[in-house]
Amino acid sequence: MHCVSCGAELGEGSGFCAKCGARVGVASEPRSVPAANNGLQSNVAGGLCYLAGFITGIFFLVAEPYKRDHFVRFHAFQAIFLSIAWVAFYFAFGVLLSVLPGMFWRMSWMLESVVGFGFFCLWLFLMFKAYNREEFKLPVIGDLAAKQA
Is residue 25 very low, low, confident or very high in pLDDT (cuts 50, 70, 90)? low
Which pLDDT belongs to residue 127? 93
Question: Are 40 and 56 within 8 A, CB to CB?
Answer: no
Question: Are 71 and 134 within 8 A, CB to CB?
Answer: no
d(CA 46, CA 117): 22
Average pLDDT score over residue span 92-115 = 80
d(CA 121, CA 114): 11
Residues 28-79: tens digit of each pLDDT: 444 333 344 457 888 899 899 999 888 988 999 898 888 888 899 999 999 9
120, amino acid identity: F
Is residue 1 very low, low, confident or very high in pLDDT (cuts 50, 70, 90)? low
Q: Percentage of residues in the chain with pLDDT exceeding 70?
A: 89
CA distances from 85 to 58, 74, 88 (A): 16, 16, 5
Q: Percentage of residues in the chain with pLDDT exceeding 90?
A: 30
DSSP string for residues in 72-102: HHHHHHHHHHHHHHHHHHHHHHHHHHHHS-G
Average pLDDT score over residue span 114-133 = 92
Question: Chain centroid to CA 4: how far?
Answer: 35
